Amino acid sequence: MSYSAPKGLFDLLPGQKEWRDSELWQIVEEQIRETAQEYGFHEIRTPIFEKTELFIRSVGESSDIVSKEMYSFLDKGERSMTLRPEGTAPVMRALVESKVLNDNSNQKVFYIGPMFRYERPQAGRYRQHHQFGVEAIGCNAPEQDAEVIDLLMMLSDKLGLKNLTVQINSIGNHESRNRFRDMLRNYLRPNLNELSEDSQRRFESNPLRILDSKDKTDRKFLEGAPSILDALDSESADHFEHVKKLLDSIDRSYIVNPQLVRGLDYYNGTVFEVMTENLGAQNSIGGGGRYDGLIKELGGPDVPSMGFGAGLERIIQTMISQEVNLTEETGPLLYLVPLGDEARLACFGQLNELRNCGISAEMDFTGRKLRKVMSHANKIKAEFVAVVGEEEMKNDQVELKEMASGESRTISFSKLPIEIMQQFSTGQEELLQDMAGQLMQLLNVNEKEK
Ligand code: HAM
């Protein structure tokens, strides 16, 4: 019997030459954490499943996510639970529950984690995908909207993504949306029977989503549809103008798309989406907007919020299709090859010392023939190899072989970490100098404390 991952799910493995390479994900995740922190966002982690009711209440019953895509199940206590299809509702639930929002303070949080949606799998669309999301709570200033949009673009710049388009829109407050729903229904009503089945179904329940339709006939009818921007209340219109001005002032380009509506019910005011031209149909790498009423709806204080979620799969796939050069694959700086039991024990000790000094090192545990071990060291891209046998231990001297050049040099075995820091002139030179500097500082401090 052999097993495969369930449909629409995938594994991340080291050493893959494509988007499922776990090391590539690590690099991207590191960049995300760094950028989020530079913008003042702090990490939050919530469980991967929640009570089903949370998503119905927040994402909305008529949304695709709630009406057909949730992985819901009854637990052993017959309570309905759902694997989180998105991150905003769980984060708001967590913040409300922990009462951190009660003192009116601003909160800026980010998360990275898996989300689950029962969608028809295709390139760029999976049943488990991963999102990087940010949520800025407590501030209704247009600067907050611009900062959140800028953060996603700054991250994209740092990751080397090109040719992205930012689409923005404002869907106004509750009253302006109601006004617009009527305008849109009046416009579509004469052709209602010709619209796609989905759009006919949405006509009463959620006509705004018709604007999102990819159906060709729907698109034709939508060409002359009224613009939500003409139905905006004056506060939302001013706010939107201000957001645009701020984006202009920092040279973040955007396109106003009055037909951009988001598929989740909690939004109001500014909404946005970042598109790539490299992914075909699933071309949104991230999207978000304001959701000023959600926290109150979930039992918390009436505070405004703004955020986005971005799909890591789509970001990484775009990087690959744009041939972004991330880093060269590197292996350990040093690979130790012990010959005999005594050397094994001594090498294991030195391995630990090297790692304590922050030097990447590995050691052969297999005891296989030297030829095979050397070929393995080559494969994992070790920069240097040291073979340690009885003789080397007795003389306290080892030959360090540089794999690329084949050249060797002799250094002390018992002082391996220090010797490496002093002698090596490799790609890790700066790092080593840094560490040596830190060590010296530590030694000085200790000396003074005595
Ligand atoms: P969303 O637009 O549903 O928004 O998802 C955000 C991003 O997740 C999408 O732009 C896409 O890159 C990625 N994504 C969604 N579904 C899939 C899938 N099946 N396969 C691969 N990638 C996918 C939200 O989830 C909101 N919570 C965003 C937000 C945060 N709004 C305010 N704060």
Pocket test for ligand 1, best of 25, 118, 129 (most atoms within 8 A of CB): 129
Computed over every residue of the chain, the mean pLDDT equals 92
Average pLDDT, stretch 6-25? Answer: 92
User: How many whole angstroms from 265 Cα to the centroid of ligand 1?
Assistant: 13
pLDDT tens profile 270-294: 999 999 998 888 899 999 999 999 9
User: How many whole angstroms from 129 Cα to the centroid of ligand 1?
Assistant: 9
427/448 Cα distance (integer angstroms): 33
pLDDT at 434: 62
pLDDT at 421: 84
User: How many whole angstroms from 273 Cα to the centroid of ligand 1?
Assistant: 10
Beta-strand ranges (E) seen in 237-299 are 255-256, 268-276, 284-290
Q: What are phi and psi of 128, to 5 degrees?
A: -120, 120
pLDDT at 426: 47
- State if residue 121 touches ligand 1 by the CB under 6 angstroms criterion: no
- State if residue 145 touches ligand 1 by the CB under 6 angstroms criterion: no
Residues in the chain, total: 450
| H or E stretch covering 149 | helix 142-158
Does the pLDDT value for residue 167 go beyond 80? Answer: yes
Which ligand 1 atom is the nearest neighbour of the CA of 285?
12
Average pLDDT, stretch 228-237? Answer: 96
- State if residue 310 touches ligand 1 by the CB under 6 angstroms criterion: yes
- State if residue 90 touches ligand 1 by the CB under 6 angstroms criterion: no
Contacts for 296 with CB less than 8 Å, ≥ 6 apart? 302, 303
- State if residue 87 touches ligand 1 by the CB under 6 angstroms criterion: yes
CA proximity to 54, closest of 291, 287, 297: 297
Calculate the dihedral angle through the C-alpha atoms of 441, 443, 448, 450, rounding to the nearest 10 degrees: 160
- State if residue 313 touches ligand 1 by the CB under 6 angstroms criterion: yes
User: How many whole angstroms from 43 Cα to the centroid of ligand 1?
Assistant: 18
- Give one DSSP letter per residue of 422-441, joined into a string: HH--STTHHHHHHHHHHHHH
Average pLDDT, stretch 195-217? Answer: 92
User: How many whole angstroms from 392 Cα to the centroid of ligand 1?
Assistant: 58
- State if residue 85 touches ligand 1 by the CB under 6 angstroms criterion: no
Does the pLDDT value for residue 26 go beyond 60? Answer: yes
Average pLDDT, stretch 37-44? Answer: 96
378/401 Cα distance (integer angstroms): 12
- State if residue 108 touches ligand 1 by the CB under 6 angstroms criterion: no
Pocket test for ligand 1, best of 70, 86, 149 (most atoms within 8 A of CB): 86
pLDDT tens profile 127-146: 999 999 999 999 999 999 99
pLDDT at 17: 74
User: How many whole angstroms from 130 Cα to the centroid of ligand 1?
Assistant: 9
- Residues 184, 210 contacting (CB under 8 angstroms): yes
- The residue ranking higher by pLDDT, 226 or 421, is 226
Residue 432: pLDDT band (50, 70, 90) is low
Residue 427: pLDDT band (50, 70, 90) is very low
pLDDT at 358: 87
User: How many whole angstroms from 86 Cα to the centroid of ligand 1?
Assistant: 7
